[in-house]
């Protein structure tokens, strides 16, 4: 017997339809029409109640999978937990960050060499357009060592140490941005949801990931001012009422991934979809299931402008 989030019994036939989804009692209540868990295309999925941590939906929640740019949630989490962090500290952009993006064919915030940007701006650049250049800048800044390579490796070690501290027993990082170097950059839906829940407790993180767009100003190497306009690759924002984040990720081994969160009637849920070609529709279906609503069927996906990063 499977139990839904409102405590209602669900017939075994419904469990088969969910592709192996298992459900557990949670604090959210839902009307009868939301009693049956939706089927999602994700290879792995998980959803929890942010306030209590209780499970709302689970599909192969503990199977390890690559996570692409959702890795950057941990990059931000490590930075934000740095003692005496100064978000207004300025970092000078190095050509190496641009060269890295070019070599990897990675998503970019198009940070210009010589520009001076703040840590807060780098977090925006990493979390909205999924800038791998910004992720490298943060890893280089907050790692230790005498070379960029040494500092970024040091930072990745900090990411793994933080995973241990947070009890993410099925998670390991070999990169600061999800561009795996040794095929050992992986997590599980459950671990990633726990990580996102932890990150969302930081007001800076939560404030950034809910923005569909940001305009930031940086000082150039010649003392001028450069304007950066970054669009959030998470198209659930502005599409599903109440959506407040969190992060996209897409690459060949991972497939399309999405960490999502939404708040309705003062209730917040956080979910993860790994390798899901219908990630936004499925996220909306899961959120409807949690809230007892029916928004997914009429949701119109926010479009990204031409030239905006996709992830």
Please pick, among 50, 107, 130, 180, the residue that the annotation labels catalytic: 130
Please pick, among 43, 59, 72, 162, the residue that the annotation labels catalytic: 72
Is 162 a known active-site residue? no
**Residue 139 to residue 142: CA distance in whole angstroms:** 5
Give the CB-side neighbour count of residue 276, counting CA atoms within 13 A. 26
Closest to 172 (Cα-Cα) out of 246, 276, 69, 74: 74
**Residue 246 to residue 115: CA distance in whole angstroms:** 27
User: Left (φ > 0), alpha (ψ -120 to 50) or beta: where does 233 sit?
Assistant: alpha
Is 130 a known active-site residue? yes
Cβ–Cβ < 8 Å for 119, 134 = no
Cβ atoms < 10 Å from Cβ of 202:
15
Is 72 a known active-site residue? yes
Alpha carbon distances (Å) from 167 to 26, 109, 160, 191, 211:
21, 31, 11, 8, 29
Provide the 8-state DSSP code for 185: -
Please pick, among 58, 69, 107, 175, the residue that the annotation labels catalytic: 69
Beta strand ranges found along the chain (DSSP E): 2-3, 9-10, 44-49, 55-59, 65-66, 90-92, 116-118, 186-187, 213-219, 225-231, 243-251, 255-264, 267-274
Cβ–Cβ < 8 Å for 14, 289 = no
In 3-state terms, what secondary structure has residue 21? coil
Provide the 8-state DSSP code for 286: H
Cβ–Cβ < 8 Å for 121, 217 = no
* Active site positions, annotated: 69, 72, 130
């Amino acid at each position: 017997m499977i139990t839904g989030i409102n405590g209602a019994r669900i017939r075994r036939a419904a469990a088969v339809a969910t592709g192996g989804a298992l459900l557990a009692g949670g604090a959210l209540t839902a009307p009868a029409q939301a009693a049956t868990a939706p089927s999602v295309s994700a290879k792995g999925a998980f959803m929890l109640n942010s306030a209590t941590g209780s499970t709302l939906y689970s599909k192969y929640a503990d199977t390890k999978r690559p996570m692409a740019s959702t890795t950057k949630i941990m990059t931000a989490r490590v930075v934000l937990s740095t003692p005496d962090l100064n978000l207004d500290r300025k970092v000078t952009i190095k050509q190496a960050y641009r060269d890295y993006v070019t070599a990897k064919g990675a998503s970019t915030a198009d940070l210009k060499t010589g520009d001076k940007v703040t840590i807060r701006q780098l977090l925006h650049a990493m979390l909205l357009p999924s800038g791998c250049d910004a992720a490298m800048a943060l890893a280089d800044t907050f790692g230790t060592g005498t070379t960029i390579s040494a500092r970024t490796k040091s930072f990745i070690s900090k990411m793994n140490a933080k995973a241990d501290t947070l009890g993410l027993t099925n998670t390991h990082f070999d990169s600061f941005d999800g561009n795996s170097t040794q095929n050992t950059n992986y997590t599980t839906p459950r671990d990633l949801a726990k990580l996102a829940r932890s990150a969302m407790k930081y007001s800076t993180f939560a404030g950034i990931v809910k923005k569909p767009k940001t305009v930031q100003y940086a000082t150039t190497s010649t003392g001028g001012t450069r304007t950066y306009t970054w669009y959030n690759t998470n198209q659930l924002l502005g599409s599903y009422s109440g959506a407040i984040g969190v992060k996209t990720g897409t690459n060949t081994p991972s497939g399309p991934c999405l960490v999502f969160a939404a708040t309705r009637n003062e209730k917040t849920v956080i979910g993860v979809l790994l390798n899901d070609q219908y990630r936004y529709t499925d996220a909306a279906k899961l959120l409807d299931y949690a809230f007892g609503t029916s928004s997914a069927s009429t949701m119109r996906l926010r479009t990204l402008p031409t030239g905006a990063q996709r992830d």
